[in-house]
Amino acid sequence: MKVIRDSIHKDIYLEDYELEVIDSSEIQRLRNIKQTGLTYLVYPSANHTRFEHSLGTMFISSKIAEKINADKKLARISALLHDIGHPPFSHTLEIFGYDHEYFGKRKIKKMDLVNFSSSEVIKTLNKKNLEGKIISGDVDADRMDYLLRDSYHTGTAYGMIDLPRILRGLTTFKSFNKVKIGVLKKGIQAIESLLVARHQMYSAVYMHPTVRIADTMMKRAVMKEILEKNLNVEDLSLMDDISLVSFLRMSENYLMEKIDRRDLYKNLITYGYSDLTPVERWIFANLDENQVLQLEEKFYNHFGCDVFLDICSIPKMEEHNVYIVSKEEIRRLDEVSPIARSLKMAEIQLWNIALYAPRENIKHLKENDDVKKKIHKILKEIDFEIKSKLVDILREYKSIIGKGKFLEIARERGISPKEFYEELHKLIFCGLIKERFNGRKYIYSLSNSINSHYL
Amino acid sequence: MKVIRDSIHKDIYLEDYELEVIDSSEIQRLRNIKQTGLTYLVYPSANHTRFEHSLGTMFISSKIAEKINADKKLARISALLHDIGHPPFSHTLEIFGYDHEYFGKRKIKKMDLVNFSSSEVIKTLNKKNLEGKIISGDVDADRMDYLLRDSYHTGTAYGMIDLPRILRGLTTFKSFNKVKIGVLKKGIQAIESLLVARHQMYSAVYMHPTVRIADTMMKRAVMKEILEKNLNVEDLSLMDDISLVSFLRMSENYLMEKIDRRDLYKNLITYGYSDLTPVERWIFANLDENQVLQLEEKFYNHFGCDVFLDICSIPKMEEHNVYIVSKEEIRRLDEVSPIARSLKMAEIQLWNIALYAPRENIKHLKENDDVKKKIHKILKEIDFEIKSKLVDILREYKSIIGKGKFLEIARERGISPKEFYEELHKLIFCGLIKERFNGRKYIYSLSNSINSHYL
Amino acid sequence: MKVIRDSIHKDIYLEDYELEVIDSSEIQRLRNIKQTGLTYLVYPSANHTRFEHSLGTMFISSKIAEKINADKKLARISALLHDIGHPPFSHTLEIFGYDHEYFGKRKIKKMDLVNFSSSEVIKTLNKKNLEGKIISGDVDADRMDYLLRDSYHTGTAYGMIDLPRILRGLTTFKSFNKVKIGVLKKGIQAIESLLVARHQMYSAVYMHPTVRIADTMMKRAVMKEILEKNLNVEDLSLMDDISLVSFLRMSENYLMEKIDRRDLYKNLITYGYSDLTPVERWIFANLDENQVLQLEEKFYNHFGCDVFLDICSIPKMEEHNVYIVSKEEIRRLDEVSPIARSLKMAEIQLWNIALYAPRENIKHLKENDDVKKKIHKILKEIDFEIKSKLVDILREYKSIIGKGKFLEIARERGISPKEFYEELHKLIFCGLIKERFNGRKYIYSLSNSINSHYL
Amino acid sequence: MKVIRDSIHKDIYLEDYELEVIDSSEIQRLRNIKQTGLTYLVYPSANHTRFEHSLGTMFISSKIAEKINADKKLARISALLHDIGHPPFSHTLEIFGYDHEYFGKRKIKKMDLVNFSSSEVIKTLNKKNLEGKIISGDVDADRMDYLLRDSYHTGTAYGMIDLPRILRGLTTFKSFNKVKIGVLKKGIQAIESLLVARHQMYSAVYMHPTVRIADTMMKRAVMKEILEKNLNVEDLSLMDDISLVSFLRMSENYLMEKIDRRDLYKNLITYGYSDLTPVERWIFANLDENQVLQLEEKFYNHFGCDVFLDICSIPKMEEHNVYIVSKEEIRRLDEVSPIARSLKMAEIQLWNIALYAPRENIKHLKENDDVKKKIHKILKEIDFEIKSKLVDILREYKSIIGKGKFLEIARERGISPKEFYEELHKLIFCGLIKERFNGRKYIYSLSNSINSHYL
């Protein structure tokens, strides 16, 4: 047994074999990967790392496993490993299809996990068992740890959730023969406070306009190197913040140089959720990085300076799916909690797309009215059709009653459940498909605005 | 006015010109210099930087200046700049005579400080005025910030001083026509708690055995590069943690590789303060780095593996000089506070010298009795005379009454006051000179043990 | 200047004349009045008092006044006095029309406020000036202090608002020639978090089912004494928790005896907001205490034991009226914040009426189906007409566009603005009047359900 | 299982039978007994009670029992009951021989403890087993809880000990066939910090001059009622703060009236430890309450107003006896820790005797030089011999080597071990007996100053 002193959970006790795993280069690498990417340029104390977060996730997973009688040891070891696939600066550099879960599993396969086989841990991280849902699910250890930790290290009060009270409310239930994690009725308030914390951290930290600018600059800096074949995407899975920054410095990457001097780009225009039609949202949400770079090239050619386009990714809002369990029934949080519903609305309002330009050019660009027009023009020219099989289905059916029914039709047309859920979520988010709840079932139909453009 | 959110002081307000100074590359560089060196290898959350600490020192300096009616703006700007001369990993790499104050001032000379001249700031950092003493003195903003900050980010409770209460007790007084910072009688307890906090942080964090091992490994890694002319000492003043680590990795420095894998050396032997005679302490305290390296070479030749020698530097214990001010009299904290006195004793007990060897060799070395004997033998062979002009003086005078008197004699023999105070402190610390207080004056004499060796 | 150490704000500095006011018996009395009534029976650490809260409100008022350039001294002295009219156990005992603001002002009139006249302080507490709005308004010092304090002393994390960030967002603006306090756009999030905190404290603490039972028992205990002429309502303004409890013990009040033994009543039935029709809500919301006591007498006669009826008061939700100020426009928080809107909904859902019976009788009552039927019957027999002049107006007009228009009509029929606003809020809350917003104006009409009963 | 939310330990889980015991009137009574007596008159937030503290002590006892494999359930139930014998205002009213341990046990005898017998709990509280030492001993749950709690509720930072780190260092060892609680070497620092916390809380809170004045006034108020036979000592064991205060108010006790108005007495003279000779300390330390009252009567007759004499009780400093356990040896903390030793010195320095007079008389008394002289005179006239059997023994033996030897001689003269240890501690504290440690044994001799008086 060893003890590590953590800023959040204080004493974290470790078994000897866990220590062996921690001492692997895969986990030690996380010491040099900042948990919140370039957030430290806005919140100077946000220098905490994926390493601490991994220990913390292990700690909370352990507590949850105890509460719901899951396999504590398996939950712990898997939690410890859940983030080893991250690129430098964590989520910031998930570019060109980089999937941290894929790289994580690839690494685990090759590791010696002492008392565990790689395959059980991978199975867990794939959420094939209860332990997996403890680490990452609707109410999970990962999220609880990062809210507490990011809030502590940024100095904001927002992420300060009431961990013991959340734990008190957790339970398990059976659904379609699978054991799932749910929340007792008396735990609703604690879960609501988790949602509130997450929402507030999103708006104060994760989506902070300047953090997003810095992140975009770093993304572009690295994309440039990849496109110029100085680096390939896979390399990122082995680098840490140090080797990446030092690589960029040596390449004399001009964006890195600006980041080092904190000479950050400025906001030129922001199009909020309600500034765009559903079709426009859908277009932007589906642009891939190469298309974005093409647009940016057009901007460059017109304005003679960088104009970067930053499109928020669409939030998953998994916590809204939490099941509230009582003797009588099992219901989704969203159905029983007006706060949960409104946070969903608020979350949607945070989504936007923004354009950034260098500090030295911004004044000139902002004062020139033609710039805005030109940008609109370029954005409107995006040649992109609303290709969506689900929209096609609804064009045909007009309205479908029941999510199960909808899935059934989709599967007949060769759409996998995973694709179905993701695309449906995205279409609803963008406002192309309307989802209503008649008290018993969800009803789906096309939005009226499906053909309108108003950028 | 801008606000920066800090983990410790929450909202730190900044004037526009201060922001300009902060945006200089000299201060931005501090974002990539860890406040507590390699401490993060023991306390994984200790990733905070000199940048945050500089803002925090500015914040507390500002509060103190307000309390004692000093020039707040000057105190603030100087505090902001007080640490820009640090090498990567802060104190860890003050090697081969690297003096962070010297490099700091050299940088300040070349900077544009907007509303201030470089010379006033340098004068302040040289403690030529009250503002300088606010930043660094007997009770100072620097120390208060680092105690709070290091304690918050390591997750230990020890540094949690009561800032408002300390501020409440501060005052100024005149002594030899100079205005100094003192503490009111009612503030003694708050100052004692500052001392206690400092002592506890020393023993739990700054002097943590494993932290010292990691620090020593990093020191040796860099010393090796300097000796091989791959790097020179001055370079350190421009590098940050990133460029240094990446340099060491590219040089395939074997110690860096071990640090990256957290494959830390282990303790072989520790000689505590009471394990050594005063003469032996004096010898070790005066060894320079080249002499240490020579010893380590001898060890290497004998044992076929690294054996590093780590000698604690002698603590300054400035807080003990704090003046306690009442209507009737002005006295040193040490005279009125038994806690202060005992902490001095405790501090002395923390001093030691230690030998470290690689993990893979340690078992073999420890089990072999001859190793210890051989080490003793090598250490005893150190060819080093007790050259000390102050000892010579006392050999002549037997006993001197009054520190002023002693200084007078020393000056006649060409010793500067600065040298005098430093050497005297060191000799007393080692136990070669005895200092007694007869109620009015200090009395100095040689210790009896001056000729004994018992290593 | 003196300093008082407070659990929340740490050092609170006081002017000498403020200390004199604090030393008055009117303020010292607050030391023995618990801030949160009988909450300590559920949260055992909730023993904090109106005295500390008054100091804290003074402290925050001071900070707000500084931020918005109001008269700091006036704000401070008024804040200090804002709660001196409270009866023992604070809000718990505002019975039989006890109005703590009335008694507060009556006391202030007779006090010597050293540097201030009673009339300026009363004017302030009547919110006739900016300072008054600092203490009690849409975003006010009173609420910020009690959230922080109640949360600290109950040990819940919910009230932990980010005070510096809220302060940062405060501003003033002019409306109809009056200076009001508003919130800058960038401060919306901080205000939302205040609302969230308040909501969570309501549901976790202030409306905790057991706290409400204890409060109801104490209310009935004192009402009994008043009805039996052992006490009169005015006496409460001079008593503290000690004298009241000791009076009740000496009267051998059976409810006090139960409270002392924590032998609390249990919940028999709860009718939630959605269990009742708008008409029924309106009836219960308008029952006065004598009518409630008559119902309880009927229950007693039927069931042979106490059955207490506890009707939530209708929440004011003033924070929702906060004005958000930007260069372009001034809007109500509710209009711009989906979170604010949903919290309003959530707040409404918390409203209910509940029936309690002694622990020893509860099992029997619950198991007997006739009991519930009998209670329904008694409640349905309440002979109460929906007397509401505003409903009458709407019966006539069908629909009225614009709140101003509605007020105008109401005034013509002799309704004062104060009555109008209160009654309208209550009618909307109960669901008897519908309020829609067409983007420019509010439109009022009668709810369809105005005649239905479904208890 | 039930959960209670505590301000310090957050969720405290309780077994059903524990809840039953908590619901007894003996424990519920503690809800109305303030933990720190009249401290709330200085630290207004210090309204926490013995009830919360009892729960907290139970919580920590539970953690310690787990760590050292003691009987957790027995430790918990005993901890819960350890304070039920306290009079109103806790230690403040331990007057005329009131012994809270005696009354506690008397109550326990009559209680129904569900799963436990009264006798096992009493045995535990008598420290006849390991569980008893967990609750009250050298490092105990009682002290840890009150330091954390009193510090949290007063708002001072001083008591904030690092609970998990202290727990980590606890162990057990055998001595004379008894299992005792000790501290591992690596836990020394954590224990030192406990000592430091305790010392700082003593000087900032428990021995705060104004707190002591308020306590003395309350003591005298109650003593007066007892002497006038309106109350007897035993009554205190059944009263709570409410019934006592209300009794004093109804008796129109003038001191109670002053306390209610916070019209506190002021300090007239303080004689510090070093202002008195050993003999004088001994005299004051041995005065009983009746003798003190006689002196106060003399003062009254001379000065025409109350002059109260407050003599600190002699601190037990049990933590200094903590055993530090390593493989090689078992030593007392005091021997290995210079901080512990110096805190002992500092503790001694806090001891004093003080005289207080009414606010309205103080100025007159202070300005009149004769007053001080007269007081000296009265105090010097105290007719009190140094009756001490241990002094007699040392007069005979001159010097005794070994505490065991000394005890042996004492027992021969009919002194019980308990008496021996108490008297010896007191004599050493006063400076009448000198204790030296020669490295192996303690050596006892009489102090030279045994006959001198210098008040």
Q: What is the pLDDT of residues B281-325, one digit of tens each?
A: 999 999 999 999 999 999 999 999 999 999 999 988 777 779 999
| Substitution target from B147, B158, B195, B333 for chain D, most D beta carbons within 10 A | B158
When mean pLDDT is compared across C181-190, C307-316, C375-384, the lowest value belongs to C375-384
Q: In what order do the strands lie in the sheet with A178-184?
A: A170-175, A178-184, A323-325, A330-332
CB contact C200 to A (< 8 Å): yes
Position B454 scores a pLDDT of: 44
Residue D206, pLDDT > 70, answer: yes
- Residue D344: pLDDT band (50, 70, 90) is confident
When mean pLDDT is compared across B12-16, B117-121, C124-128, C382-386, the lowest value belongs to C382-386
CA–CA dist B227, B293 (Å, integer):
11
> Are D341 and B341 in contact (CB < 8 Å)?
no
CB contact D342 to B (< 8 Å): yes
- Residues in CB range of A366: below 8 A, 6 or more apart: A268
Stretch B245-263: mean pLDDT: 96
The percentage of chain B sitting over the pLDDT mark of 70, rounded to a whole number, equals 98
Kindly list the residues from chain D whose CB atom is less than 8 angstroms away from the CB atom of residue A3.
168
Q: What does the domain layout of chain D look like in residue ranges? A: 1-155+208-262, 265-314+351-384, 389-450
Average pLDDT along chain A: 92
CB contact B257 to A (< 8 Å): no
Q: What is the pLDDT of residues A8-35, one digit of tens each?
A: 999 999 999 999 999 999 999 999 999 9
CB contact B3 to C (< 8 Å): yes
- Residue B451: pLDDT band (50, 70, 90) is low
Stretch D90-119: mean pLDDT: 95
- Residue D267: pLDDT band (50, 70, 90) is very high
D 17-36 residues inside an 8 A Cβ radius of C: 23, 25, 28, 31
Residue A454, pLDDT > 50, answer: no
Position A318 scores a pLDDT of: 75
The subunits that touch chain B, with at least 3 C-beta pairs less than 8 Å apart, are A, C, D
Give me the helices (H) in C304-432, please: 333-336, 338-350, 359-367, 369-380, 389-397, 403-412, 417-430
Residues B151, B157, B163, B165: what is their CA dihedral angle, to the nearest 10 degrees?
-160
Tokens of B437: 């207080």
Tokens of A20: 């062996």
> Are D7 and C153 in contact (CB < 8 Å)?
yes
Position A309 scores a pLDDT of: 97
Position B345 scores a pLDDT of: 83
> Are C10 and B168 in contact (CB < 8 Å)?
no
Q: How far is D52 from chain A (nearest CA, A)?
A: 19
Kindly list the residues from chain A whose CB atom is less than 8 angstroms away from the CB atom of residue B155.
5-8, 10
Residue B357, pLDDT > 90, answer: yes
> Are A47 and B44 in contact (CB < 8 Å)?
no
C 125-164 residues inside an 8 A Cβ radius of B: 164
- Residues in CB range of A36: below 8 A, 6 or more apart: A46, A48, A90, A150, A153, A154, A205, A206
Kindly list the residues from chain D whose CB atom is less than 8 angstroms away from the CB atom of residue B342.
338-339, 341-343, 345
Residue C14, pLDDT > 70, answer: yes
b/e map C115-139, b = 16+ CB within 10 Å: ebebebbbbbbeeebbbbbbbbbbb
Q: Give me the phi and psi of A433, to 5 degrees please.
A: -115, 135
Position C449 scores a pLDDT of: 67
The subunits that touch chain C, with at least 3 C-beta pairs less than 8 Å apart, are A, B, D
| Substitution target from A2, A3, A4, A5 for chain B, most B beta carbons within 10 A | A5
Average pLDDT along chain D: 92
pTM beyond 0.90: the answer is yes
Residue of C251 and D317 predicted with greater confidence: C251
Q: Do A60 and A52 form a contact (C-beta atoms < 8 A)?
A: no
ipTM of the complex: 0.92
Nearest in space to B154 (alpha carbons), one of A10, D193, A419, C237? A10
When mean pLDDT is compared across A116-130, A231-245, A340-354, D15-29, the lowest value belongs to A340-354
Residue C144, pLDDT > 80, answer: yes
The percentage of chain D sitting over the pLDDT mark of 70, rounded to a whole number, equals 98
Angle at the Cα of C206 from the Cα atoms of C205 and C209, rounded to 5 degrees: 75
Cβ-based contacts under 8 A for chains A and D: 10
Q: What is the pLDDT of residues A382-433, one digit of tens each?
A: 876 678 899 999 989 989 999 999 999 999 999 999 899 999 999 999 999 9
The subunits that touch chain A, with at least 3 C-beta pairs less than 8 Å apart, are B, C, D
Stretch C157-175: mean pLDDT: 89
Kindly list the residues from chain B whose CB atom is less than 8 angstroms away from the CB atom of residue D156.
162
Q: Give me the phi and psi of D3, to 5 degrees please.
A: -120, 135
> Are D55 and C47 in contact (CB < 8 Å)?
no
* Residue D393 amino acid letter: I
Most confidently modeled range among B27-31, B322-326, C389-393 = B27-31
Q: Give me the phi and psi of D228, to 5 degrees please.
A: -85, 10
* Residue A208 amino acid letter: H
- Residue in A with minimal Cα distance to C339: A342
Q: What is the pLDDT of residues B179-200, one digit of tens each?
A: 999 999 989 988 988 888 888 8
Residue D316, pLDDT > 90, answer: no
Cβ-based contacts under 8 A for chains A and B: 88
Position B98 scores a pLDDT of: 96
Which of B193, B203, B342 lies at the smallest CB-CB distance from D338? B342
Which of B44, B52, B242 lies at the smallest CB-CB distance from A4? B44
Average pLDDT along chain B: 92
Position B449 scores a pLDDT of: 67
Fold of A1-155+208-262: Hypothetical protein af1432 (1.10.3210)
CA–CA dist D389, D383 (Å, integer):
19
Residue C451, pLDDT > 90, answer: no
Position C442 scores a pLDDT of: 87
Indicate the class that CATH gives domain A265-314+351-384. Answer: alpha beta
CB contact D48 to C (< 8 Å): yes
Stretch C158-164: mean pLDDT: 85
* Residue C252 amino acid letter: E
- Residue D73: pLDDT band (50, 70, 90) is very high
Choose the CATH number for B389-450 among 2.160.10.10, 1.20.1070.10, 3.20.20.70, 1.10.10.10: 1.10.10.10
- Element of type H or E holding D182: strand D178-184
Which of C11, C164, C168 lies at the smallest CB-CB distance from B164? C11
Position B442 scores a pLDDT of: 87
Residue D455, pLDDT > 50, answer: no
- Element of type H or E holding C19: helix C16-22
Residue A250, pLDDT > 70, answer: yes
